Amino acid sequence: MFEVLSEKLGAVFRLLGSRGKLSEKEIDEALRQVRLALLEADVNFKVVKDFTGRVKERSLGKEVMESLSPGQQMIKIVNEELIKTLGDGASSKLVSVSHPPAVVLMVGLQGSGKTTTAAKLALLLKHNGQKPLLVAADNRRPAAIEQLVTLGKQLEVAVYSEDPRTSSKDICVHGLSEAKRIAATHVIIDTAGRLHIDEELMAELEQIKRVIKPDEVLLVVDAMTGQDAVRVAEEFHAKVSLTGLIMTKMDGDARGGAALSIRWVSGVPIKFIGVGEKADALEPFYPDRLASRILGMGDVLTFIEKAEQNLDEKKALELQKKIQKSGFNLEDFLDQLKTIRKMGPIAQVIEMLPGINKLANKLPDGVQEAQLKKVESIVLSMTPEERRNPSIIGGSRRKRIARGSGTATHDVNQLLNQFSQMQKLMKMGASGKLPKNMMGMFGKQ
């Protein structure tokens, strides 16, 4: 998602960034291109108009016209206004309640991803040390109950279900008592979907709301349905008062307009995004991160968070200490490689990194994976001593390592050079975060 938009905006920015002073005409032309790119990405036209209006007003002001690098200033404004459009300052956290359990009602149209997302949310809460209970209140299809029960088993999250002949309202009430009995921190209620918004669905949801008084009413919308998703959000919000949105299927190839418009049009904050079918493919939503992803600045923060989740804490601490002492060596690097591997397909990881994401698109499938393997096999062909102290690796050792790893000597040279650069960088400002430089090792070459 967002590739085309990102590419088009990137082209406008490259042009702007290279300019000295900007005339009003040049600003207008840049904004015209931005407007076109947004419309092509299926962003709601009102949102586009509002957005470009705000950017234009600020661009003509002092902060741009009198600045030394007007192009850069304008990019900064686009970034800030995009964040505003996506919901600046909105918290992606679920509300906290003084008397648990917090009650979360999941609503949405058929197939939008309610059941899957309910389970994903439960898993996320569980990972954060909470105790969620899932409630199968979709009694329309017996298979729906089974789906949730199965997911609960897989993820080791408790599920409350009963005979589908019980009314959904009663299932919710009973589920709530069960949550209190087991001292759950959150109750997540999966409800039935409909093909279209109809009176019956709304009446049922209103009834459930009245009896269980949810703390959160989260609408699950499919990002692939484009502007329909925006309309659905508006209608649901008008009828049942939503507290948040979850956009699913953000991993799909939709143009992304829905995600960009929905907050501004509906006034409801996006709290999470679904980025895949697997149970861990749910991310808290951060407007600033999405904006920088769209503007091609990569998504370093999400990347770092992912890395942190995968690195166990003790190791991370050790590593941080090492880096602070500048003792980061190739053995640690090998550890990091393994961690990166665990984070998912390398292409997806690379996509989050600034500068490198463009490159990732251009490489044929499997290339990064192959590069990663190459780097790994080079490091594996070194002796532990060499890994701990790469400076001892002279010419003959380099030849031996190349032979051992089935690579050429210049591959080994390149890796060692890049590694020593990285070490220098770490010395300069070690913070314990993965340096983006490190990724250069797999992509570029």
Ligand X SMILES: Nc1nc2c(ncn2[C@@H]2O[C@H](COP(=O)(O)OP(=O)(O)OP(=O)(O)O)[C@@H](O)[C@H]2O)c(=O)[nH]1
Beta strands 270-274 and 282-284, pairing class: antiparallel
Q: By the 8 A CB rule, do 329 and 317 touch?
A: no
Site stretch for Mg ion (CB under 5 A), options 76-84, 144-152, 213-221, 244-252: 144-152
Question: Cβ closer to ligand X: 115 or 266?
Answer: 115
Contact in structure between 101 and 89 (CB atoms under 8 Å): no
Among positions 164-193, residues that touch ligand X (CB under 6 A) are 193
Q: What residues contact residue 288 under an 8 Å CB cut-off, 6+ apart?
A: 83, 88
Identify which range of 51-59, 113-121, 169-177, 433-441 contacts Mg ion by CB under 5 A: 113-121
Under the criterion CB under 6 A, does residue 152 sit at the interface with ligand X? no
* Binding residues for ligand X, total number by CB under 6 A: 20
Per rule CB under 6 A, is residue 271 in the interface with ligand X?
no
Sequence-ordered alpha helix ranges (H) in 241-355: 257-266, 287-294, 300-310, 313-324, 330-342, 346-351
CB-CB contact of 137 with 190 (8 Å) = yes
Cα distance from N-terminal residue to C-terminal residue, the chain: 27
x-marked contacts with ligand X along 384-403 as a string, rule CB under 6 A: --------------------
Report what 3 binds from Mg ion, ligand X, none; CB cut-off 5-8 Å by kind.
Answer: none
Q: Is 271 helix (H, G, I), strand (E, B) or coil?
A: strand
Helix axes 409-429, 436-443, angle to 10 degrees: 170
Nearer CB in complex with Mg ion: 73/115: 115
Question: Least separation, in Å, of the C-beta of 197 and ligand X?
Answer: 13
Q: Is 136 an interacting residue with respect to ligand X (CB under 6 A)?
A: no
Are the C-beta atoms of residues 442 and 368 closer than 8 Å to each other? yes
Q: How far is the CB of 389 from ligand X (least distance, A)?
A: 46
CB 170 → Mg ion: shortest distance, Å?
19
When binding is defined by CB under 5 A, the residue of 115, 185, 248, 339 that contacts Mg ion is 115
Q: How many CA atoms lie within 13 A of 47 on its CB side?
A: 27
What is the DSSP-derived secondary structure letter of residue 311?
S
Quote the least distance from Cβ 158 to ligand X, whole Å.
19
Q: Residue 275 binds what, of ligand X, Mg ion, none (CB under 5 to 8 Å, by partner type)?
A: ligand X
Which of Mg ion, ligand X, none is residue 271 near (CB under 5 to 8 Å by kind)?
Answer: none
Binding site for Mg ion (CB under 5 A): 114-115, 144
Binding site for ligand X (CB under 6 A): 108, 110-116, 138, 144, 193, 248-249, 251-252, 274-277, 281
